[in-house]
Amino acid sequence: MVQRRNPYAPRAADFLSNISNFNIIESTLREGEQFANAFFDTKTKIAIAKALDAFGVEYIELTSPVASEQSRADCEAICKLGLKAKILTHIRCHMDDARIAVETGVDGVDVVIGTSSFLREFSHGKDMAYITKTAIEVIEFVKSKNIEVRFSSEDSFRSDLVDLLSIYQTVDKIGVNRVGIADTVGCANPRQVYDLVRTLRGVVGCDIEVHLHNDTGMAIANAYTALEAGATHIDTSVLGIGERVGITPLGGLVACLYAANPEYVKSKYNLPMLREIENLVAEAVEVNVPFMNPITGYCAFTHKAGIHAKAILNNPSTYEILKPEDFGLTRYVSIGHRLTGWNAVKSRVEQLGLTLTDEEVKDATAKIKELADVRTQSMDDVDSLLRIYHSGIQSGELATEGRRRLTDQAGDP
Amino acid sequence: MVQRRNPYAPRAADFLSNISNFNIIESTLREGEQFANAFFDTKTKIAIAKALDAFGVEYIELTSPVASEQSRADCEAICKLGLKAKILTHIRCHMDDARIAVETGVDGVDVVIGTSSFLREFSHGKDMAYITKTAIEVIEFVKSKNIEVRFSSEDSFRSDLVDLLSIYQTVDKIGVNRVGIADTVGCANPRQVYDLVRTLRGVVGCDIEVHLHNDTGMAIANAYTALEAGATHIDTSVLGIGERVGITPLGGLVACLYAANPEYVKSKYNLPMLREIENLVAEAVEVNVPFMNPITGYCAFTHKAGIHAKAILNNPSTYEILKPEDFGLTRYVSIGHRLTGWNAVKSRVEQLGLTLTDEEVKDATAKIKELADVRTQSMDDVDSLLRIYHSGIQSGELATEGRRRLTDQAGDP
């Protein structure tokens, strides 16, 4: 189906792709807590966790219980909620942290350590032999508790490739559940992500998670490309909140995966909840949902230029790859502006139950453009103009030199 | 240089790439006018055009002079400003439009027509033979006026590949300056963009422009990948404003290209002007600059988690690929929260000119975490706490059981 519509859609031969077979690790309650504005009290954390669970994310990741007393208490409280989503916590690659993490009741532990020369020099100061030794110790300990364990490097795209593959192969052999690649600084681009994930896919048998920062605005595309290359798990946060400008946003990821395979995404997630979850988190961290947010940005389904409006009215698929109704949203065709077109106006005339010929609609459209060159006309303005024009035609007044009179009437502020 | 730092950076063998050799076609005054909120009066259009010119974009694209009387007058006015940037206008592939466009004084005309089966059926209803014939007529007419002409398909990613390549080859042969690929509906992903541009690069000798909508949040990455595949011109708008959620944003494109080659981008554009231009446009269309905007989002250079803060203080490159000072901005290390770490606190202690041992800093850090578990501490709160702690140490009061007393004092709201 997809192939017939679009010659560039994923090919059947693209056997590595997990575009239609992925899991979301939702990290609003971990990465999101690192957002400048974020301070989540216990009640808010529980509300967010429940909303994400109802939406259908497969995993919820929480701040390390080692971060503070309250972080630990909250982690324990969320584990006790009995959610369908698996609960993970995120710790440094250190036995002290691991011992505390496994006592909280989590379903899995995400372990991370910096492997780039930058972080090895300026952050923790450890060499690869030490990192490997500690990783093995921590992984075996967590596994002994019969819970999931992931091992991730940090700043993976600035780490030595051989070092990376070597440690991933080692932890894969001792039975880690997932390995993680992290673009901690947001420096990666889609083809780099594809190359690294594809290479890693040939080296390890376990699942592959990616964690992608958004400093250059490519985190959604990088996640998409990672899935194409064989990644299995994507980290997200609601609205992308996290360190600096954050990571792959949940809504954006859902948008691009829905565009690739709507039925699969609709079957996994409660899509109409997306807006509610975004509003919940936006309120908690005191930000606005960005106007250009995929799906829920307030103009995401607003069509304006005449040529777009005409085609949308004939068939929404012409200019929409996301169906607003699948997200509990509606489309809006704006016509009171200088870029309007007569086909869009004609559709409005019909909606108002008026009868005008095409020539008359074109005449009325010219009038709308004239007024809209001065200021944008609201839908009410346009409707009044069309009704006045229509009654002028009906009464015969407009048949001759009516346009000038119409101008005088409708031009009143 | 780049290669030594990062094994996944573009390879020297990647001879197609124009990552360090591109032009920006800034379309805030065309695509941006199609944004739901946009109504630009003449004065605002001129202010935006001048700002974009001062920033250094190579081209400024304007709304079709056919759209309305004022659109035509504004186009003529902007052509007369004598800007360094070339001025383009954007028209339907129609001789009526072309005749008006060439009279405005523009340096070039961007011609567009829908080629997908969707648009051919539901928009203009023309077949490929008609499209080709009209394209040739319009292109030859514009060329006869000695100005640039671009021919673009619309909805290119849902058009038949053979139809597309065929018409591009035809217009290339008659001397079009650029051909354009448009992801009008925002359905493309990076690997599709790469494939189509790379294929086209082998078919035409002229320049290649891409116009990418952002419905799934991939427009920045798609633009980047198009340049890797040999595209030469990228369409942008300030903050990405345009139909629905818009197109590749100027700031985001600059961010990812700066990350790839800072010196080249700094040599072409006046980067500290970016924030001013974004504020100008945001005000004109009454939106907020999104909190997670690349570069100018208010937290783009805010570092929070202890592990990040520590490394940033040692060497900013650990967690920053964009230098805030190159954009006239500054970084901020946030420490008054439960994710703080003692190295970040130590740095603040030194900034305040206080003297504490590492053990004392760790003790004070535990205290900050304790308070921050209740509510986020402002920088002032943290500074007071550190000063009180320091004077307690100096006076000997804190040597024994001073921590409890400190709690009582600093805990006051």
Residue B159 is assigned to a structural domain of this protein: yes
Where residue A401 falls among pLDDT bands split at 50, 70, 90? very low
Averaged pLDDT for residues A181-210: 96
Task: Tell me which residue in A155, A190, A338 faces B71 most closely, judged by beta carbons.
Answer: A338
Contact (CB, 8 A) for B94 and B139:
no
Q: Output B379-388 pairs: Cβ under 8 A, ≥24 positions apart.
A: B379/B335, B379/B336, B381/B336, B381/B410, B382/B335, B382/B336, B382/B345, B382/B348, B383/B348, B383/B352, B384/B410, B385/B410, B386/B345, B386/B348, B386/B349, B386/B352, B386/B354, B387/B352, B387/B354
Helix (H, G, I), strand (E, B) or coil at B363: helix
B208 and B349 in a single domain? The answer is: no
Tell me if the pTM is above 0.80: yes
Going A259 to A299 to A331 to A250, the CA torsion angle's sign is positive
Which of A129-133, A254-258, A287-291, A329-333 holds the top average pLDDT?
Answer: A254-258
Residue B411 is assigned to a structural domain of this protein: no
- The pLDDT value given to residue B14: 72
Where residue B334 falls among pLDDT bands split at 50, 70, 90? confident
- The pLDDT value given to residue A411: 37
- The pLDDT value given to residue A123: 67
Average pLDDT, chain B: 90
Residue A44 is assigned to a structural domain of this protein: yes
Where residue A348 falls among pLDDT bands split at 50, 70, 90? confident
pLDDT, tens digit, 9 for 90 and up, residues B392-413: 998 887 764 445 444 444 433 3
- The pLDDT value given to residue A164: 93
- Position B3 pLDDT exceeds 50: no
A115 and A154 in a single domain? The answer is: yes
Residue A347 is assigned to a structural domain of this protein: yes
Residue B413 is assigned to a structural domain of this protein: no
A298 versus B212: which is more confidently predicted? Answer: B212
How many CB atoms neighbour CB B238 within 10 A?
Answer: 28
* Chain-chain contact of B221 with A190 (C-beta, under 8 angstroms): yes
* Chain-chain contact of A123 with B71 (C-beta, under 8 angstroms): no
- The pLDDT value given to residue A1: 39
* pLDDT above 90 as % of chain B: 72
Averaged pLDDT for residues A319-343: 90
- Position B116 pLDDT exceeds 90: no
- The pLDDT value given to residue A400: 45
Amino acid occupying residue A173: K
Amino acid occupying residue A383: D
Q: What is the CA radius of gyration of chain B?
A: 27
B41, B117, B195, B245: which to substitute to probe chain A, counting the most A Cβ within 10 Å? B245
Averaged pLDDT for residues A321-329: 93
Contact list in A for residue B182 (CB cut-off 8 A) is none
Contact list in B for residue A309 (CB cut-off 8 A) is none
Going A293 to A294 to A296 to A299, the CA torsion angle's sign is positive
Averaged pLDDT for residues B62-77: 97
CA distance A403 to A401: 6
- Listed residue (A132, A212, A124) closest to A165, CA to CA: A132
pLDDT, tens digit, 9 for 90 and up, residues B308-330: 777 777 787 777 899 999 999 98
CA distance A28 to A52: 9
A173 and A254 in a single domain? The answer is: yes
Task: Tell me which residue in B161, B334, B338 faces A67 most closely, judged by beta carbons.
Answer: B338
Of A261-275, A324-338, A397-411, give the lowest mean pLDDT range: A397-411
- The pLDDT value given to residue A402: 46
Where residue A12 falls among pLDDT bands split at 50, 70, 90? low
Task: Tell me which residue in B92, B196, B321 faces A215 most closely, judged by beta carbons.
Answer: B321
B42, B191, B256: which to substitute to probe chain A, counting the most A Cβ within 10 Å? B191
B192 and B263 in a single domain? The answer is: yes
- Position A404 pLDDT exceeds 80: no
Q: For residue A394, what are the CA distances in angstroms to A343, A365, A366?
A: 21, 18, 19
CB-based contact, B228 to chain A, within 8 Å: yes
**Residues 289 to 328 of A: which have CB under 8 A from any B CB?**
290-294, 297-305, 307-308, 310-311, 314-315, 317-322
Minimum Cα–Cα distance from A376: chain B residue: B39
Minimum Cα–Cα distance from A247: chain B residue: B292
pLDDT, tens digit, 9 for 90 and up, residues A200-212: 999 999 999 999 9
Minimum Cα–Cα distance from A334: chain B residue: B36
Residue A72 is assigned to a structural domain of this protein: yes
* Chain-chain contact of A222 with B220 (C-beta, under 8 angstroms): no
A247 and A311 in a single domain? The answer is: no
- Position A27 pLDDT exceeds 60: yes
Average pLDDT, chain A: 90
A148 and A190 in a single domain? The answer is: yes
A59 and A185 in a single domain? The answer is: yes
Among residues A285, A311, A343, the one where a domain terminates is A285
Among residues B285, B311, B335, the one where a domain terminates is B285
Minimum Cα–Cα distance from A246: chain B residue: B292
- Position B109 pLDDT exceeds 50: yes
Contact list in B for residue A29 (CB cut-off 8 A) is none
CATH for B151: 3.20.20.70
Per DSSP (E only), the strands in B81-136 are 86-92, 108-114
pLDDT, tens digit, 9 for 90 and up, residues B153-166: 999 999 899 999 99
CB-based contact, B373 to chain A, within 8 Å: yes
A303 versus A121: which is more confidently predicted? Answer: A303
* Chain-chain contact of A244 with B299 (C-beta, under 8 angstroms): yes
A276 and A309 in a single domain? The answer is: no
Show Cβ contacts of residue A359 under 8 Å, excluding neighbours closer than 6 positions.
none
Provide the b/e sequence for A117-133 (b: ≥16 CB within 10 Å): ebbbebbbebebeebbe
- Position A408 pLDDT exceeds 60: no
- The pLDDT value given to residue B240: 98
Per DSSP (E only), the strands in B93-218 are 108-114, 148-154, 178-183, 207-212
- The pLDDT value given to residue B7: 59
Query: Running DSSP on this structure, what letter comes out for residue B237?
Result: B
Where residue B207 falls among pLDDT bands split at 50, 70, 90? very high
- The pLDDT value given to residue A119: 67
CB-based contact, A157 to chain B, within 8 Å: yes
pLDDT, tens digit, 9 for 90 and up, residues A80-129: 999 999 999 999 999 999 999 999 999 999 999 887 776 666 666 678 88
A252 and A278 in a single domain? The answer is: yes
- The pLDDT value given to residue B332: 86
- The pLDDT value given to residue B40: 96
CA distance A363 to A379: 18
pLDDT, tens digit, 9 for 90 and up, residues B226-268: 999 999 999 999 999 999 999 999 999 999 999 999 999 999 9
Per DSSP (E only), the strands in B155-279 are 178-183, 207-212, 233-236
Number of structural domains (chain A) is: 2
A141 and A233 in a single domain? The answer is: yes
Helix (H, G, I), strand (E, B) or coil at B6: coil
Q: Is B337 a catalytic residue?
A: no
Residue A150 is assigned to a structural domain of this protein: yes
Going A90 to A94 to A98 to A99, the CA torsion angle's sign is negative
Task: Tell me which residue in A195, A299, A321 faces B8 most closely, judged by beta carbons.
Answer: A195
Contact (CB, 8 A) for B18 and B225:
no
- The pLDDT value given to residue A407: 45
Contact list in B for residue A243 (CB cut-off 8 A) is 303-305, 308, 319
Residue B258 is assigned to a structural domain of this protein: yes
B122 and B249 in a single domain? The answer is: yes
Contact list in A for residue B322 (CB cut-off 8 A) is 215-216
Amino acid occupying residue B128: M
Contact list in A for residue B338 (CB cut-off 8 A) is 67-68, 70-71
Contact list in A for residue B286 (CB cut-off 8 A) is none
Of B3-7, B185-189, B370-374, B392-396, give the lowest mean pLDDT range: B3-7
Among residues B285, B311, B340, the one where a domain terminates is B285
CA distance B151 to B136: 10
**Which is the catalytic residue, given A213, A233, A303, A308?**
A308
- The pLDDT value given to residue A410: 40
Which structural domain, as residue segments, surrounds residue B123? 14-285
Cα dihedral B248, B251, B257, B261 in deg (nearest 10) = 170
CA distance A308 to A10: 27
pLDDT, tens digit, 9 for 90 and up, residues B265-313: 999 999 999 999 999 999 999 999 999 999 999 889 988 887 777 777 7
**Which is the catalytic residue, given B213, B233, B308, B337?**
B308
B267 and B312 in a single domain? The answer is: no
